[in-house]
Amino acid sequence: MVLQSTSWADPYGQLLHLFGQDGRHWWPLLEIFSFIPEEVYSRKLHLGDNRRKQILNQLKEVAPTILAFIKQVSDGW
């Protein structure tokens, strides 16, 4: 849904805000955040080049936040 929804402005930030504070949700969030970059080039999703570039730019922008989350998770386990 994150990859195909062009109207969801900040999916990564919203997911972190909603689920990042509760350790019970860390594993699913890590799965989602690792799954998204893998699926950007999936032919099954039929993403256009413009959408693919938009997603990759979003991922570049949010990378420091995701890395901070991964550090938080590794420190918490």
pLDDT the model gives residue 69: 93
Q: Is residue 44 part of a domain?
A: yes
pLDDT the model gives residue 3: 83
Q: Is residue 6 part of a domain?
A: no
Q: Is residue 56 part of a domain?
A: yes
Q: Is residue 4 part of a domain?
A: no
pLDDT digits (tens, 9 = 90+) for 8-57: 888 888 999 999 988 899 999 999 999 888 899 888 888 899 999 999 99
Q: Is residue 1 part of a domain?
A: no
Total domains in the fold of the chain: 1
pLDDT the model gives residue 5: 81
pLDDT the model gives residue 17: 92
Query: Is the pLDDT confidence value at 2 over 90?
Result: no
pLDDT the model gives residue 57: 92
Q: Is residue 5 part of a domain?
A: no
Measured CA to CA, the distance from residue 56 to residue 6 in angstroms comes to 13
Q: Which domain holds residue 57?
A: 11-76
Q: Is residue 2 part of a domain?
A: no
